[in-house]
């Protein structure tokens, strides 16, 4: 709209010049043509200046424009800079100490968790007129599906500090226990990791990472198979 306004204004400025000049019968034809050319030249220069100012204002607007990339794919990572593609267009996404990182379920994350081929949402501002470079204010990695959850299943193997379990709804999961993990039986009594056996039914509370099918930061493992229920009938006299 502003561009059309500038063009219309320039034409209006040119119009009154022709009338008085053409009405002046005493003006020689050669001088009349010279005046007309000078007038047109001046108006063209004014129009170019206006268009230049308009372009400068547009560039300033673009540089501060809010940028959003929804479901972009990370194709390259170097230092604190990500390369993200979306719909065939490539973006350079810069991060700094003010950039916040979130997982799919909005848990806090870090730049080190992001990997190539991850799907991300980027929020920030453009820093170039081509709108291909973004200073990120927040990056949400949709591929990092970590959340605190509760899982039920059966033990399939046990190692030094890991338990592999077949869960009811999430397939096979690797559970990593630590010294802070509370191990209890179905009576809420404390047990040791060595008390757990393959085939026993357990409940695990911890941080689930869907991408690698693991449960870490485990706070509790409850064994519903302990203590063993004696099913042998007691003989009566």
Residues 178 and 154: their CA atoms lie apart, in Å, by 20
Check if 67-141 and 146-223 are the same fold. yes
The whole-model pTM stands at 0.58
**The predicted structure's pLDDT at residue 17:** 44
Q: Which residues contact 134 (CB under 8 A, 6 or more apart)?
A: 67, 69, 91, 92, 93, 94, 122, 124, 125, 126, 127
CATH number of 67-141: 2.40.50.110
**The predicted structure's pLDDT at residue 48:** 75
**The predicted structure's pLDDT at residue 39:** 75
**The predicted structure's pLDDT at residue 49:** 74
Which mean pLDDT values do the consecutive 10-residue runs of the chain (237 residues) have?
A: 51 48 55 72 74 62 78 97 97 97 92 95 93 95 91 96 95 96 96 96 94 94 91 66
**The predicted structure's pLDDT at residue 221:** 97
Sequence ranges of the domains in the chain: 2-60, 67-141, 146-223
Answer yes or no: are the C-beta atoms of 191 and 226 closer than 8 Å: yes
**Could you say which architecture CATH assigns to the domain 146-223?**
Beta Barrel (2.40)
């Amino acid at each position: 709209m502003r561009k059309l306004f500038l063009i219309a204004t320039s034409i209006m400025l040119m119009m009154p010049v022709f009338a008085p000049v053409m009405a002046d019968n005493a003006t020689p034809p050669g001088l009349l043509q010279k005046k007309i050319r000078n007038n047109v030249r001046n108006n063209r220069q004014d129009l170019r200046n206006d268009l230049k100012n308009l372009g400068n204002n547009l560039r300033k607007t673009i540089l501060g424009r809010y940028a959003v990339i929804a479901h972009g794919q990370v194709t390259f990572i170097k230092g604190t800079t990500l390369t993200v593609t979306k719909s065939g267009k490539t973006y350079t996404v810069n991060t700094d100490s003010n950039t916040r990182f979130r997982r799919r379920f909005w848990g806090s994350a870090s730049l080190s968790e992001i990997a190539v081929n991850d799907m991300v949402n980027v929020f920030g501002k453009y820093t170039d007129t081509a709108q291909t470079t973004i200073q990120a204010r927040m990056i949400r990695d949709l591929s990092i599906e970590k959340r605190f959850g509760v899982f039920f299943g059966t033990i399939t193997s046990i190692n030094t500090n890991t338990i592999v379990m077949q869960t009811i709804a999430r397939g096979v999961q690797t559970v990593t226990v630590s010294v802070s993990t509370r191990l209890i039986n179905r009576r809420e009594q404390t047990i040791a990791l060595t008390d757990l056996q393959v085939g026993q039914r357990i409940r695990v509370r911890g941080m689930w990472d869907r991408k690698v099918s693991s449960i870490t930061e485990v706070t509790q493992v409850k064994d519903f198979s302990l203590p063993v229920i004696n099913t042998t009938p007691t003989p009566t006299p």
